[in-house]
Amino acid sequence: MSKARERYSQLQSGRTQFLDTAVECSELTLPYLVKRDENSTGKRQLLQPYQSVGAKAVVTLAAKLMLAILPPQTAFFKLQVRDDKLGQTLDPMMRSELDLSFSKIERLIMDYIAASSDRVVVHQALKHLIVSGNALIFMGKDGLKHYPLNRYVVERDGNGNVIEIVTKELVSRKVLGISPPPTDSPNGEYGDTEDDAEVYTCVKMDESSGSWRWHQEVDDMILDGSQSTAPKNTSPWLVLRFNTVDGEDYGRGRVEEFIGDLRSLDGLSQSLVEGASVASKVVFLVSPSATTKPGTLAKAGNGAIIQGRPEDVGVVQVGKTADFATAANLAAQLEKRILEAFLVMNIRNAERVTAEEVRLTQLELEKSLGGLFSLLTVEFLVPYLNRTLLILQRSNQIPRLPKDVVRPKIVAGINSLGRGQDNEALTTFIATVAQTLGPEALMKYIDPSEAIKRLAAAQGIDVLNLVRTTEQLEQLKQQIVQDKTNQSLVDQAGQLAGTPLMDPSKNPDVAEQASAVLGNLQPPEE
């Protein structure tokens, strides 16, 4: 079995080109984000770009992606009973009670996520996805941990499934409680200094047991207590990609797709800055045969009177105004293209984000970024939800849910978009019929009960015990008719009571007849 350090070195060569591209993309946007050396301590002076358009584009797109996949104050998933189990193992009439219980569990899970630092780590991972196209997240008991591209290597099979992960990080030997490396080891083999140790985490898929296994190594020795396992569907290691290319182990970032425009914009911005600096320099020229003395002119104060001729003194002017205008116009065009590609628009300032705004943001991202939501749903949301459910169930914070009956469903990203589009199409159709043919045609041709059910389905609302059935509507209709009949009899009795003929004191038979009639009346149901 290959040691983790050796395995990391073997897989490192396949990562080189992706890391080089990621570093260049980071230098044009957020220089601190991706570094070439995984052992860098952050003391190295970073090159700063001549423009901030790239940084603004990355930060804005990351914020929109964060709003789309993990919307605030809204659950990105829904617990529901499998439809094939209703009527077999479960009574359909229990659906509403189960939905109420599931809603409580969903709130508990969202409260757990809100109280943790998961959103901070996910937002950081999204920025890495946009810039480098890759990110690795580990879901531990203490929360999420993010690994940038320069600290891990990965290998996938022909179908793009992860089969092996190796991470590398520097940890103090005092924290680990281990001794310094061997004195006869080559310099830098086990770390840059005697105080730090290179910790390798080797994660592999065990096909025989269908589970993930991992351990940590220091100085080619396995750390005590570092071995662990996890089921295949609840792995804590989430390897994320922005764009995928068939046959490649790593992803491609959004910045890489527009790196040409970013390079050009940065070069033009540098030229404009340096040209403006040169153009702003003021230099006076004095003719060699002039009577005006340069020393006298230089020492003269504001408003001073000296001897000389105005034609003897001239000012150096850089005649590059037309060139500056051309460069500025091209830079403006590049900036516009980049901002449009990264969906930078005027963002509404508000304390609360509405559900409609979240949906519109999701729709905008899906139209512009293609199948990104589908990829993030498969590689992040589904395993993130499964792992979170497992952690909360093991800690008894939520009850254990039977997998064969209850199924979690992602309702963020592309899944919510389809539902929103169905709702919009249905409402538009009903409004068009009403405007074109009139309300009479709408009531004649559109079934209200079916329209309500479809609207509820488009919005993900369960209509069980919420919308009245056909039988219940018929009973309600009969009850309304009965109530009107009873009210009519009561009104007639009241009118007759005022006549002398119906006065009980004058006609004793009336009292007995009135009692009999009122006894047959059915009081309306409350």
Residue 477 domain-assigned (yes or no): yes
Indicate if 424 and 376 belong to the same structural domain. Answer: no
> Which parts of the chain have pLDDT scores under 70?
1-2, 38-46, 83-97, 99-100, 181-194, 345-359, 362, 366, 370-371, 412-423, 453-454, 456-470, 489-526
Work out the angle between the directed axes of helices 509-520 and 470-497 (0-180°, nearest 10).
170
Indicate if 206 and 65 belong to the same structural domain. Answer: yes
List all residues 6 or more positions away from 325 whose beta carbon is below 8 Å from its beta carbon.
none
Instruction: Compute the distance between CA of residue 389 and CA of residue 408 in angstroms, rounded to an integer.
Output: 10
Which pLDDT value is given to residue 349?
46
Residue 80 domain-assigned (yes or no): yes
Show contacts of 56-59: CB within 8 Å, 24+ apart. 56/339, 56/344, 57/29, 57/338, 57/339, 57/341, 57/342, 57/344, 58/29, 58/30, 58/127, 58/130, 58/131, 58/255, 58/342, 59/30, 59/127
Q: With beta carbons less than 8 A apart as the criterion, state whether 261 and 53 touch.
A: no
Indicate if 271 and 293 belong to the same structural domain. Answer: yes
Give the three-class secondary structure for 230. strand
Indicate if 487 and 430 belong to the same structural domain. Answer: no
Torsion over CA: 275, 279, 284, 286 (sign) = positive
Instruction: Compute the distance between CA of residue 375 and CA of residue 340 in angstroms, rounded to an integer.
Output: 22
Indicate if 267 and 249 belong to the same structural domain. Answer: no
Domain with 291 in it: 259-298+309-341
Indicate if 91 and 28 belong to the same structural domain. Answer: yes
Indicate if 165 and 268 belong to the same structural domain. Answer: no
CA-to-CA dists, residue 70 to 60, 83, 147, angstroms? 15, 27, 20
Instruction: Compute the distance between CA of residue 361 and CA of residue 350 in angstroms, rounded to an integer.
Output: 15
Instruction: Compute the distance between CA of residue 512 and CA of residue 522 in angstroms, rounded to an integer.
Output: 18
Nearest 5°: phi and psi at 410? -75, 130
pTM of the model: 0.74
Among residues 363, 273, 250, the alpha carbon closest in space to that of 327 is found at 273
Q: With beta carbons less than 8 A apart as the criterion, state whether 178 and 218 touch.
A: yes
Chain position carrying tokens 């994660």: 203
Instruction: Compute the distance between CA of residue 291 and CA of residue 165 in angstroms, rounded to an integer.
Output: 81
Indicate if 103 and 229 belong to the same structural domain. Answer: yes
Query: How many domains does the chain divide into?
Result: 4
